[in-house]
Amino acid sequence: MLEKINNLLQEVEGLALNTKEQVEEYRIKWLSKKGEITVLFDEFKTVTPELKKELGQKLNDLKNKAQEKINHLKEKYEAATDSNISSDLDLTLPGDPNISIGSRHPLSIVKNQIIDIFSRIGFTVSEGREIEDDWHNFTALNTPENHPARDMQDTFYVNLNPEMVLRTQTSSVQVHIMENNKPPIRTISPGRVYRNEAISARAHCQFHQVEGLYIDSKVSFADLKQTLLYFSQEMFGKETQIRLRPSYFPFTEPSAEVDISCTICKGKGCNVCKYTGWVEILGCGMVDPQVLDNCSIDSNKFKGFAFGMGIERIAMLKYQVKDLRLFFENDVRFLKQFTSA
């Protein structure tokens, strides 16, 4: 019996158990009801009294060691499965250099560039809400109910009381800013807008705009023009030229649409600029005095300019993307072509 005990003791001390299953296998082999150690305890009952002390101690020692080993390893492997760490994972290995870290969405890249360009000349960034009331999206902007200009923007209505809209333009943020701040105000408001339009290569029911607003005691149309020239050259290159065409927006007077010289053909004529040498990038104008008054800013003391551009449009021109839908499909093959600092 002593020999058996010693052999088992050696086995317990020397054996490497590498998996949870092995631990269980040896628990049964040693300690279960018919296990080798349990059986030894049965045999122990028949041992002569002279040997009892020595064998008893050895047997207890064997049992404790086996139990300890099983418990310890069981805990270790259970913890490892819990956190999915296998015992042969080498945590000291260097990281995989080929891992893909992803890239920023092209619309975020362009949005950040726009913010960067305007913040260099003192514009802050302000954000509004996407579910807007009629006042901020339309009425305060000189577009009361039944005004024909509402037709320019196919609106999604939100069934609430009072009825709300998904904002059709970030010009709504202008109103919040003017209501809550005193001039001078110099801010841009990037954000998502919604229009009930059929989705095509050139239109979508959701897109992004950046609104710009500058209010102070002496703001002129020349300031507006110079600001937009600065923006266009920073965004599209120093050789870029701009031209302003008279236009109409309910909230600006006078209003203009701004074209830049075609970045593709440099003004010579191509299919992007439809052989005109110019491409439209934004709408702008001097804030209509009525809009200032609507927002509790004294139009006798203050003047301002505003502009609004589509981020998708700028991104399409900058990266020569021909289909607007690509920005929303999130196909990684498309997205990973864009990199930013």
C-alpha distances (whole Å) from 52 to each of 2, 41, 55, 337 are 11, 11, 5, 81
- Residues between 254 and 283 with contacts to ligand DAH, criterion CB under 6 A: 283
- The residue whose two tokens read 């965004």 is 235
Identify the helix (H) or strand (E) that includes residue 282: strand 278-287
Cβ–Cβ < 8 Å for 327, 310: no
Query: Closest separation between CB of residue 174 and ligand DAH, Å?
Result: 7
- In whole angstroms, how close is the CB of 224 to ligand DAH at the nearest point? 9
What x-and-dash track marks residues 24-63 binding ligand DAH by CB under 6 A?
Answer: ----------------------------------------
Bridge partners, residue 306, by sequence = 213, 285
Judged by CB under 6 A, the residue of 183, 190, 250, 285 near ligand DAH is: 285
Q: Find all residues with CB under 8 Å of 184, minimum gap 6, and list them.
A: 214, 215, 216, 217
Of residues 191-250, which lie at the interface with ligand DAH (CB under 6 A)? Answer: 211, 249
Spatial separation of the C-alpha atoms in residues 45 and 56, rounded to whole Å: 10
To ligand DAH, the closest distance from the beta carbon of 306 in angstroms equals 3
Nearer Cβ to ligand DAH (281/284): 284
- What is the Cα–Cα distance from 210 to 284, expressed in whole angstroms? 12
Q: Which parts of 133-192 interact with ligand DAH (CB under 6 A)?
A: 169, 171
Q: For ligand DAH, how many residues bind (rule: CB under 6 A)?
A: 11
Nearer to ligand DAH, 183 or 283 (CB): 283
- Please give the residues from 302 up to 321 whose contact with ligand DAH meets the rule CB under 6 A: 306-308
